[in-house]
Amino acid sequence: MNDQTMNPARVKEIAFDPTCGVNTPEDVLLDQIGINIRRGLPQAQPYQPNSQTAIIVAGGPSLNTTQGELVEATWKGGKIVALNGAYQWCIDRNIRPSAFVMLDAREFNTRFVETAVEGCHYLLAAQCHPRAFDLCRDRTTTIWHAMSAGEREEALLKEYYFGRCNPVTIGTTVAMRAISLMRMLGFTRFEVFGVDSCWIGEEHHAYAQEENNGEKRISVWLRPRDRDDKALRFLCSPWQAKQAEDFMLLIKERGNLFDLNVRGPGLIASMIRMGAEIQIEEDTT
C-alpha cells in the first residue's frame, strides 16, 4: 500500500459543517421513489466479502491527470464503477465501465445514462428521476435506497418491501454512497479516482458540467501535524467541503471494513497523505 492508502488512525475529524442540503424537494423525492420501486427491479442487498477491487471513478478534475493510473488499475483486474458524468468520460476513452452508480434525483442527470454499455450493471437510487430508469429499461439494473427523504421514505419502503430493505447511508454525494454501496455488494478493496473534493485550477470536474460553473468557493486549509511543514490551501465548493466531512465520518464508522486508496492531488488524497488537520475559512472566491 502506498502513502495515500487510508489509515483511519491518522485522520482528524473536520470541525465545520457547510450548508449542503438535499437538492430536490422531499415531496418530489417521494413521488419518484414511489414510481421507481414499483418497477419490480431487484434491490441491492448484502453479499459476502470478496477479493476483487472496485475502481471508483468520480468526476473530479484530477481524473484527467490520473488516466494512466486508472488504466493500469484495470489491467490488474479491477472493476470500473463509474459515477455520473465519469461514465461517459470513461466510454470516450475506451475504458469500459463494469457498473454505473447514480444518486441525484434531478431530471437533467438522466443524460448520464444515455449511452448503453453492454455488460454494464446500472445501480440507480430509487430517488433518481423516472426517465433514468426508462433509459435503462433493457439493461441490467438494480435499485438501491439512499433514505434522503428521511422517515417518510423509510415508512414507504417498509410498507412496500415488507421491511426487507437495506439502505445505503453516510454521505451527501454519490461518491460517498458508492463506496458504501459497493462494500455492501461484497467489495473490500477500493481504488478511488476523481474524488478530489476541491477545484483544481479553474476546473471543478474533469469534463464540462455547466451546473457547477457559478458555485461559491471557500478556502479549506490542511494543517500538517508538524507545524514546521507548510499548510496547503484548497478552494472548495460547499458541497465539496461537506463531502470531505462525510469522508471522515465514513472512515470513522466503516474504515475497518475495507482498504481504500485515493489517487490524485486533491483535498481528500492530500489529507490522507499528510495526516493533516483541516480548517475552513469564511472568505469566498
SS3 for the chain, per residue? CCCCECCHHHCCCCCCCCCCCCCCCHHHHHHHHHHHHHHCCCECCCCCCCCCEEEEECCCHHHHCCHHHHHHHHHCCCEEEEECCHHHHHHHCCCCCCEEEECCCCHHHHHHHCCCCCCCEEEEECCCCHHHHHHCCCCEEEEECCCCCHHHHHHHHHHHCCCCCCCCCCCCCHHHHHHHHHHHCCCCEEEEECCCCCCECCECCCCCCHHHCCCCCEEEEEECCCCCCCCEEEEECHHHHHHHHHHHHHHHHHHHHCEEEECCCCHHHHHHHHCCEEEEEEEEC
> Does any domain span residue 58?
yes
Q: Confidence class of residue 228 from pLDDT cuts 50, 70 and 90?
A: low
Residue 283 is predicted with a pLDDT of 55
Calculate mean pLDDT across residues 54-72: 97
Tell me the pLDDT band of 274, cut-offs 50, 70 and 90.
Answer: confident
Residue 222 inside a domain? The answer is no
Domain that holds residue 49: 8-198+239-264
Residue 230 is assigned to a structural domain of this protein:
no
Cα 91 from Cα 84, distance rounded (Å): 12
Residue 175 covered by a domain: yes
**Domain presence at residue 254:** yes
Instruction: Give CA–CA dist 44/147, Å, rounded.
Output: 14
Q: Tell me which residue has cell 471543478.
A: 204
Is a pLDDT exceeding 50 seen at residue 77?
yes
Dihedral (CA of 110, 111, 113, 116) sign: positive
Is 221 a domain residue? no
Number of domains in the chain: 1
Query: How sure is the predictor about 63, in pLDDT bands with cuts at 50, 70 and 90?
Result: very high
Lowest-confidence region among 32-46, 119-133, 225-239: 225-239
Could you report the per-residue pLDDT of 183-196, keeping only the tens digit for each?
999 999 999 999 99
Strand ranges across the sheet with 53-57 = 140-144, 121-125, 99-102, 79-83, 53-57, 189-193, 259-262
Let me know if residue 126 belongs to a domain.
yes
Residue 275 lies in a domain: no
**CATH code for the domain of 18:** 3.90.1480
**Average pLDDT score over the chain:** 89
In tens, the pLDDT along 119-161 reads 999 999 999 999 999 999 999 999 999 999 999 999 999 999 9
Residue 233 has pLDDT above 70, yes or no: yes
Residue 226 has a pLDDT of 66
